[in-house]
């Protein structure tokens, strides 16, 4: 097409089209240097150094916030931007000055769709009011639907630096000085899940950054203590819900002679695929907690995850002490280097098995007090963690060496704390070169099977099925000369469709609710949102088709 024709097609001046053609190489370079999956728009050709800096800054923000579900201060981001800019322009001549102004930060956030950078001085405390409102709503759902402790679950992810023995130890000090050392790669993400009763813990989901055939070689997947997955970002994969959670919980409830209906409570982290999980299974209701409330009410954050990490660290130290005791020539550094992902999988399984039922049950006291059997037992959770910390310190003293023989309680607490390791500028260069953490579709190796996305089961979709059945029934009655045969098919099909009819009724009722019902929405602004005037509210107009359920067996005959 000619430049004038293209201009008319896109409603822009012909001179603009000619300029774009002239600057083709620069534009392509600009887009190539940016992070294409997260950058929202490239409207001008920008300096190559700025593009490289912003790409690395975006990676840095992802590394520092994704695993902790947190935010970083805008002042810290601006200082980091200046540091990275100095790194990417090192050795260059005629470098343009970069001040990392507030205006630049606002434009950067728009370009890359960054939402987890807060303004300086902005409150980051947990929302106590929203937590209390959610607790009231949760209790109303439990009472209305008749859920019992065995049917209510909480799941949450946590980062595990599986070779962390303490930053003051000589192991960490020496390893950090080694060429090519990247501490943040000795890392995996775990998804833990348990019910309010505390008598059932789902097998942990373990997501690693890279494929490791040796980790699972010779092991039956079904007999491993974890569900093993991998992707380049060590982020949660969306197939956990159907492939792991549903089969395990269904089998457990059958063994307890309980109805297969589940209430799953999650935080609103993006890794939980909030939209996909809504109505993903007819027997599972998913509630999302408001932002900034997990530290107040999420059961796994009330001590379960910390107790798990305490057990894991104790297992890691115990195995080290056993190895040193068995062979006097073995050093702690030898053992530390020998720890593999296969060892880590076994340690994770042992640590999760050691979490007691009472520990899990007592950690529900802040969100569902009625399910807790012994309120005084929560002090036992804290005491149990303290005992594990003391055990770790005692083992460290026996291992001896710098950082071990004088290990303090705060050293162990630092190991157990949720944290992210800040990647260096060199790490960011390598990640940018490899594309790690940039594209959302880099979820793993092509040879690793990918589960299809979960299509939400909406009231509109069920209503569409209703209409299709109604059309089929009408055609059969008109075309089939044997009326009894068509009516019998109608009765049987209507009976088979009854669960969906009930689900449609529930969805219609849920769509009419306002106020607290909005807790089902995964994204809040810290306040209760106003009811939407579109979306699901439109589904409330859907009417059930008038079908006759089959009569009793005697009348049917």
* Nearest to 376, CA basis, from 390, 392, 365, 389: 365
The predicted pLDDT at position 367 comes to: 94
Is the pLDDT assigned to residue 311 strictly greater than 60? Answer: yes
Decide if 448 is inside a domain: no
Mean pLDDT confidence for 51-69 = 78
264 three-state secondary structure: strand
Q: What is the pLDDT of residues 464-519, one digit of tens each?
A: 998 999 999 889 888 888 888 888 899 899 999 988 888 888 788 776 654 444 44
Matching residue, tokens 């089939």: 480
Question: Do 353 and 253 share a domain, yes or no?
Answer: yes
How much of the chain exceeds pLDDT 70, in percent?
Answer: 74
Question: Do 138 and 107 share a domain, yes or no?
Answer: no
The predicted pLDDT at position 386 comes to: 92
pTM greater than the 0.75 cutoff:
no
Q: How many residues does the chain have?
A: 557
Most confident region among 77-91, 412-426, 540-554 by mean pLDDT: 77-91
| DSSP codes, 83-111 | HHHHHHTTT-SSPPP----HHHHHHHHHH
**pLDDT band, residue 272 (cuts 50/70/90):** low
Q: Are 262 and 284 in contact (CB under 8 A)?
A: yes
Q: Are 297 and 137 in contact (CB under 8 A)?
A: no
Mean pLDDT confidence for 303-325 = 95
Q: Which of 158-162, 174-178, 383-387, 491-495 has the lowest mean pLDDT?
A: 174-178
400 sits in the region (left: phi over 0; alpha: psi -120 to 50; else beta) called left
Q: Are 456 and 104 in contact (CB under 8 A)?
A: no
Decide if 340 is inside a domain: yes
Out of 416, 442, 468, pick the residue that ends a domain. Answer: 416
Which is more confidently placed, 514 or 101? 101
**Residue numbers of the domain that contains 473:** 459-505
Question: Do 281 and 185 share a domain, yes or no?
Answer: yes
Distances (CA, A) of 469 to 473, 475, 497, 501, 547: 6, 10, 9, 12, 10
The predicted pLDDT at position 275 comes to: 62
Question: Do 147 and 30 share a domain, yes or no?
Answer: no
Question: Do 225 and 281 share a domain, yes or no?
Answer: yes
Out of 117, 141, 162, pick the residue that ends a domain. Answer: 117
Q: Cβ-count burial of 261 within 10 angstroms (0-12 exposed, 13-18 middle, 19+ buried)?
A: middle
Q: Where are the alpha helices (DSSP H) in 441-482?
A: 459-479
Mean pLDDT confidence for 376-385 = 77
Mean pLDDT confidence for 142-151 = 96
The predicted pLDDT at position 513 comes to: 52
Q: What is the pLDDT of residues 201-239, one digit of tens each?
A: 999 999 887 776 566 777 777 788 999 887 755 455 567
Question: Do 354 and 487 share a domain, yes or no?
Answer: no
**pLDDT band, residue 393 (cuts 50/70/90):** very high
What's the total number of domains in the chain? 4
* Other CB atoms within 10 Å distance of the CB of residue 232: 20
Which is more confidently placed, 209 or 378? 209
**pLDDT band, residue 159 (cuts 50/70/90):** confident
Rg of the chain taking only CA atoms, in angstroms: 28
Question: Do 162 and 251 share a domain, yes or no?
Answer: yes
Decide if 441 is inside a domain: no
The predicted pLDDT at position 375 comes to: 62
Question: Do 380 and 275 share a domain, yes or no?
Answer: yes
The predicted pLDDT at position 322 comes to: 94
For residue 493, give both structure tokens: 């099909």
The predicted pLDDT at position 128 comes to: 85
The DSSP call for residue 169 is S
**pLDDT band, residue 82 (cuts 50/70/90):** very high
The predicted pLDDT at position 536 comes to: 40
Question: Do 138 and 259 share a domain, yes or no?
Answer: yes
CA-CA-CA-CA dihedral for 316, 320, 323, 328, to nearest 10: 180
The predicted pLDDT at position 175 comes to: 80
The predicted pLDDT at position 454 comes to: 44
- Distance CA(547)–CA(256), nearest Å, equals 35
- Distance CA(255)–CA(86), nearest Å, equals 62
Is the pLDDT assigned to residue 185 strictly greater than 70? Answer: no
Decide if 386 is inside a domain: yes
Which is more confidently placed, 456 or 78? 78
Q: Cβ-count burial of 65 within 10 angstroms (0-12 exposed, 13-18 middle, 19+ buried)?
A: middle
Question: Do 386 and 244 share a domain, yes or no?
Answer: yes
- Distance CA(155)–CA(236), nearest Å, equals 12
Q: What is the pLDDT of residues 344-372, one digit of tens each?
A: 999 999 999 999 999 999 999 999 999 98
Question: Do 58 and 38 share a domain, yes or no?
Answer: no
**Which distant-in-sequence residues (6+ apart) come within 8 Å of 218 by Cβ?**
none
Q: What spatial distance separates the first Cα and last Cα of the chain, rounded to whole Å? A: 72
Decide if 510 is inside a domain: no
**pLDDT band, residue 452 (cuts 50/70/90):** very low
Q: Which of 209-213, 244-248, 382-386, 422-426 has the lowest mean pLDDT?
A: 209-213
Question: Do 308 and 195 share a domain, yes or no?
Answer: yes
Matching residue, tokens 């042992």: 350
User: What angle is formed at CA 73 by the lines to CA 68 and CA 75, rounded to 5 degrees?
Assistant: 150
* Other CB atoms within 10 Å distance of the CB of residue 157: 26
**pLDDT band, residue 417 (cuts 50/70/90):** confident
Q: What is the pLDDT of residues 24-59, one digit of tens each?
A: 888 877 666 654 454 555 555 668 889 889 989 988
**Which distant-in-sequence residues (6+ apart) come within 8 Å of 540 by Cβ?**
459, 508, 511, 512
Averaged pLDDT of the chain = 79
Decide if 247 is inside a domain: yes
Distances (CA, A) of 450 to 235, 244, 454: 14, 14, 12
Is the pLDDT assigned to residue 396 strictly greater than 60? Answer: yes
How much of the chain exceeds pLDDT 90, in percent?
Answer: 39
* Nearest to 134, CA basis, from 526, 530, 533, 508: 526
Mean pLDDT confidence for 136-146 = 95
* Cα 320 to chain centroid, rounded: 32
Out of 117, 146, 161, pick the residue that ends a domain. Answer: 117
Decide if 439 is inside a domain: no
Q: How many CA atoms lie within 13 A of 495 on its CB side?
A: 11
Q: Are 310 and 416 in contact (CB under 8 A)?
A: yes
Q: Which of 114-118, 157-161, 319-323, 403-407 has the lowest mean pLDDT?
A: 114-118
Decide if 286 is inside a domain: yes
């Amino acid at each position: 097409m000619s430049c004038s024709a293209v201009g008319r097609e896109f409603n822009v001046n012909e001179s603009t089209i000619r300029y774009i053609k002239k600057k083709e190489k620069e534009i392509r370079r600009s887009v190539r240097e940016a992070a294409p999956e997260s950058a929202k728009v490239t409207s001008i050709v920008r300096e190559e150094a700025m593009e490289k800096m912003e790409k690395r800054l975006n990676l840095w923000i992802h590394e520092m916030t994704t695993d902790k579900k947190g935010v970083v201060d805008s002042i810290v981001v601006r200082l980091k931007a200046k540091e990275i800019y100095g790194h990417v322009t090192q050795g260059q001549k005629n470098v343009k000055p970069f001040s990392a102004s507030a205006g630049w930060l606002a434009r950067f956030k728009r370009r890359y769709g960054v939402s987890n950078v807060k303004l300086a001085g902005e409150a980051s405390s947990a929302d106590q009011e929203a937590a209390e409102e959610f607790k009231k709503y949760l209790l109303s759902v439990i009472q209305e639907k008749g859920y019992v402790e065995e049917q209510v679950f909480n799941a949450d992810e946590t980062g595990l630096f599986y070779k962390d023995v303490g930053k003051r130890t000589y192991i960490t000090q020496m390893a950090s000085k080694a060429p090519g050392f990247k501490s943040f790669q000795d890392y995996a993400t775990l998804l833990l899940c348990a019910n309010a009763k505390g008598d059932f813990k789902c097998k942990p989901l373990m997501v690693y950054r890279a494929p490791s055939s040796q980790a699972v070689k010779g092991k039956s997947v079904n007999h491993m203590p974890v569900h093993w997955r991998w992707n380049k970002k060590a982020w949660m994969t969306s197939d956990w819900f159907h492939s792991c959670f549903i089969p395990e919980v269904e089998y457990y409830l059958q063994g307890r002679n309980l109805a297969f209906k589940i209430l799953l409570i999650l935080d609103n982290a993006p890794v939980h695929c909030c939209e996909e999980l809504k109505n993903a299974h007819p027997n599972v209701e998913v509630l999302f907690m408001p932002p900034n409330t997990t530290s107040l009410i999420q059961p796994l954050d009330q001590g379960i995850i910390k107790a798990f990490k305490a057990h894991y660290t104790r297992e890691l130290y115990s195995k080290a002490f056993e190895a040193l005791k068995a062979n006097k020539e073995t050093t702690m550094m030898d053992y530390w280097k020998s720890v593999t992902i296969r060892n880590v999988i076994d340690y994770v399984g042992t640590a999760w098995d050691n979490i007691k039922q009472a520990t899990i049950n007592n950690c529900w006291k802040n969100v569902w007090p009625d399910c807790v059997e012994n309120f005084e037992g929560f002090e036992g959770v804290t005491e149990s963690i303290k005992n594990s910390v003391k055990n770790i310190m005692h083992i460290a003293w026996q291992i001896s060496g710098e950082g071990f023989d004088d290990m303090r309680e705060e050293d162990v607490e630092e190991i157990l704390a949720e944290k992210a390791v800040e990647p260096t500028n060199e790490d960011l260069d390598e990640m940018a070169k490899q594309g790690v953490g940039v594209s959302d579709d880099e979820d793993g190796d092509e040879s690793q099977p990918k589960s299809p996305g979960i299509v939400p089961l909406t009231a509109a979709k069920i209503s569409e099925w209703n209409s299709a059945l109604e059309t089929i029934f009408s055609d059969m009655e008109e075309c089939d000369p044997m009326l009894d045969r068509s009516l019998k098919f109608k009765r049987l099909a209507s009976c088979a469709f009854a669960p969906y009819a009930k689900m449609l009724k529930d969805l219609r009722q849920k769509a009419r609710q306002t106020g607290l019902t909005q807790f089902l929405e995964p994204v809040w602004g810290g306040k209760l949102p106003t009811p939407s005037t579109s979306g699901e509210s439109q589904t409330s107009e859907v009417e059930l088709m008038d079908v006759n359920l089959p009569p009793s067996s005697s009348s049917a005959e």
